[in-house]
Amino acid sequence: MLNVRPTTDMIKAVRGTRDLLPPETALWNFVESAVRDVFRAYNFQEIRTPIFESTELFARGVGEETDVVSKEMFTWSDGERFDEEALATEWIARGVEEKRFFVESATPVNSYLSPLRIRFINRVPDRPEFVCFRPKATLESVDLLLKARADVKSDEFLRRYSQDAEYVRRFEIKLRIVVPSGTADSASWIDTRGVEVEQFQNRTPVFKSSQSLTLRPENTAGVVRAYIEHNLEKRGLNKLYYIGPQFRRERPQKGRYRQFYQIGAEVIGPASAGSESPARDAEVLEMLATLLDRLGIDGWILQLNSVGCANCRPDYFRALKDALRDVAPRMCADCQRRAVTNPLRVFDCKVPEDQPIINNLPTISSYLDHACTQHFLQVQEILRALDIPFNLNDRLVRGLDYYTRTAFEFTHGALGAQNAILGGGRYDGLSEALGGPAAPGIGFAIGEDRLVMSLQESAEGVVRKPDVYVAALGAGMNGEAARLARELRRHDLVVDLGDESFRLKKSFEAATKAGARYILIVGENEVKADAFAVKNLATGEQVAVPRAELARRIQGE
């Protein structure tokens, strides 16, 4: 039967990812530039960490029992890496040992040829070979060898390296690809053009074991890894911010994507630099209030809690486990597991039937030790002094394991089910958990997708429309029009440029569609007069403006 399936199926963006298109991107730029201004005012500096990290970083940093790590990560093995050197070393050593050949020289051939990963091997006196060691025979390696041989036989080579030239001229150079045995026999389907492909029975492994990598589901672990790796403790208190994509395999819905963007910040450093002080918590929260206000987001609610520290948690966990022992059998399978492995995570449960049970569980607030209680009270005191409103919410535990003491979320009514616009808190033990020095820290991440969604202004409002549309009129005018556009853009004007194939009517339509304030006509007469017709598209007023005054006139000075 004929396969009639069309081969030109449309390829769509992957579920949970999306394209951000203009004019909405203007809103994203507006948000990012406003938050950069705020970060600058609070003396935060940008950090950019890789988009993928070793899986272990998130397992140890964020916690294996969290939903993010246990269910939502995009993880892959970066595959086995072929160790060319190991194969070459063993092949040469074994050839000699088994007296199959004798090696007079075995040198990588990149001293006189372009960077080629091949070797020049003298197997027995006067039997030179070019050999490359590959995981499998490929056309590329065949090409490489043939080219290498052609190169050394070329007049250019013979001229430049006359010492070696004498030798290569005398002998035919054999070409060989050595591949480890057990890999697919690719030589059977490629045209090897006389190059010998040798399947070598290697004894030592030539594939290095693979590494598990993960697309970052969040950026705090990455920042703390970078803090440790680059000894940032030497700098005292680090105030860092980031803007970038994060990845979680969640069920997509409004405000929840698999690739989403976070704007985040972390304050981290040795305790001696003040990183543990409640003043830091309050400063971060006040900055967030300022930021949301400046963006024109009103109606946010700050939910605040303290989740204690390594000292007060054990007592609380015991009480929580005790309470769960009775009720867990009536809860979902995830909760039954969490009740044993990581009871705090029971609070992440979204199953509706479990909620009444969860609402009756003991909360951390009555188990805080003296130091945590004092810390939390001081944070609240500063917030009151700053007139930052907050709701105490003792059920707020946050979904990531690293949190200690202050934990918070800002919610916004307009967002629907996914109403957390941002979340954050302290993570005083995270650096140690990742093998670093003690480095108390506090930070947050704003869901940029949600932030943009909750902005009242329409995207149209923040787009800068063209100041002028430069219309080339008549054959041969494109160059002159481009020159004018170039001059005007140097004056920081937004300029849109037409095409000489457009008639006057079409140019006007294009200028109006682009929302330009003025249209500037570049025709033969105008060029001759060195003065151009400039028409205000809103008022219809038209004047002839000398070239030298164009920018000033359009700027409206």
* Interface residue with ligand HAM, options 61, 95, 180, 264 (CB under 6 A): 264
The token pair at 335 is 């909760």
Q: Cα–Cα distance between 383 and 535 in angstroms, integer?
A: 55
With CB under 6 A as the contact rule, which of the stretches 198-206, 368-376, 415-423, 542-550 interacts with ligand HAM? Answer: 415-423
Query: By CB under 6 A, is residue 425 in contact with ligand HAM?
Result: yes
With CB under 6 A as the contact rule, which of the stretches 192-200, 248-256, 311-319, 537-545 interacts with ligand HAM? Answer: 248-256
75 — phi, psi (to 5°)?
Answer: -120, 140
Query: By CB under 6 A, is residue 404 in contact with ligand HAM?
Result: no
Query: By CB under 6 A, is residue 444 in contact with ligand HAM?
Result: yes
Query: By CB under 6 A, is residue 281 in contact with ligand HAM?
Result: no
Query: By CB under 6 A, is residue 429 in contact with ligand HAM?
Result: no
Q: Considering the complex, state which of residue 343 and residue 423 has its C-beta at the smaller distance from ligand HAM.
A: 423
Q: Cα–Cα distance between 249 and 160 in angstroms, integer?
A: 59
Contact call for residues 38 and 294 (beta carbons, < 8 A): yes
Tokens 């294996």, residue located: 64
Contact call for residues 316 and 429 (beta carbons, < 8 A): no
Q: In angstroms, what is the minimal distance from the CB of 267 to ligand HAM?
A: 9
Query: By CB under 6 A, is residue 275 in contact with ligand HAM?
Result: no
* Interface residue with ligand HAM, options 262, 365, 406, 431 (CB under 6 A): 262
Q: In angstroms, what is the minimal distance from the CB of 509 to ligand HAM?
A: 40
Q: Measured at the alpha carbon of residue 66, what is the angle toward residues 437 and 61, in degrees to the nearest 5?
A: 15
Query: By CB under 6 A, is residue 300 in contact with ligand HAM?
Result: no
Q: Cα–Cα distance between 358 and 361 in angstroms, integer?
A: 5
Look at the alpha carbons of 127, 130, 131, 137 in this order and tell me if their dihedral is positive or negative.
Answer: negative
- SS3 sequence of 428-445: CCHHHHCCCCCCCEEEEE
Query: By CB under 6 A, is residue 249 in contact with ligand HAM?
Result: no
Q: In angstroms, what is the minimal distance from the CB of 449 to ligand HAM?
A: 5
Q: Cα–Cα distance between 140 and 266 in angstroms, integer?
A: 47
Q: In angstroms, what is the minimal distance from the CB of 483 to ligand HAM?
A: 46
Query: By CB under 6 A, is residue 218 in contact with ligand HAM?
Result: yes
Q: Considering the complex, state which of residue 269 and residue 447 has its C-beta at the smaller distance from ligand HAM.
A: 447
Contact call for residues 402 and 439 (beta carbons, < 8 A): no
With CB under 6 A as the contact rule, which of the stretches 421-429, 456-464, 467-475, 527-535 interacts with ligand HAM? Answer: 421-429
* Interface residue with ligand HAM, options 91, 260, 367, 408 (CB under 6 A): 260
Q: Would you give the binding string for ligand HAM spanning residues 74-93, x where CB under 6 A is met? A: --------------------
Q: In angstroms, what is the minimal distance from the CB of 451 to ligand HAM?
A: 8
Q: Measured at the alpha carbon of residue 399, what is the angle toward residues 298 and 403, in degrees to the nearest 5?
A: 90
Query: By CB under 6 A, is residue 423 in contact with ligand HAM?
Result: yes
Q: Considering the complex, state which of residue 308 and residue 423 has its C-beta at the smaller distance from ligand HAM.
A: 423
Q: In angstroms, what is the minimal distance from the CB of 439 to ligand HAM?
A: 13
DSSP E strands, 207-299: 207-208, 212-215, 238-247, 259-268
Q: Would you give the binding string for ligand HAM spanning residues 447-486, x where CB under 6 A is met? A: x-xx------------------------------------
Query: By CB under 6 A, is residue 422 in contact with ligand HAM?
Result: yes
Query: By CB under 6 A, is residue 420 in contact with ligand HAM?
Result: yes
With CB under 6 A as the contact rule, which of the stretches 21-29, 140-148, 420-428, 471-479 interacts with ligand HAM? Answer: 420-428
Contact call for residues 501 and 550 (beta carbons, < 8 A): no
* Interface residue with ligand HAM, options 32, 65, 84, 250 (CB under 6 A): 250
Binding residues for ligand HAM, how many (CB under 6 A)?
A: 27
Q: Cα–Cα distance between 67 and 348 in angstroms, integer?
A: 8
Q: Cα–Cα distance between 438 and 429 in angstroms, integer?
A: 7
Residue whose Cβ sits closest to ligand HAM: 447
Amino acid at 521: I
Q: Considering the complex, state which of residue 157 and residue 402 has its C-beta at the smaller distance from ligand HAM.
A: 402
- According to DSSP, residue 325 is labeled H
SS3 helix, strand, coil % of the chain, rounded to 5?
40, 20, 40
Q: Quickly count: other Cβ atoms within 10 Å of residue 128's Cβ.
A: 20
Q: Cα–Cα distance between 343 and 316 in angstroms, integer?
A: 10
Query: By CB under 6 A, is residue 269 in contact with ligand HAM?
Result: no
Q: Cα–Cα distance between 250 and 103 in angstroms, integer?
A: 58
- Whole-angstrom CA distances from 379 to 18, 177, 306 are 39, 68, 10
3-class SS at 187?
Answer: helix
Q: Which residues sit at the interface with ligand HAM, rule CB under 6 A?
A: 218-220, 248, 250, 255-257, 260, 262, 264, 266, 399-400, 420-425, 427, 443-445, 447, 449-450
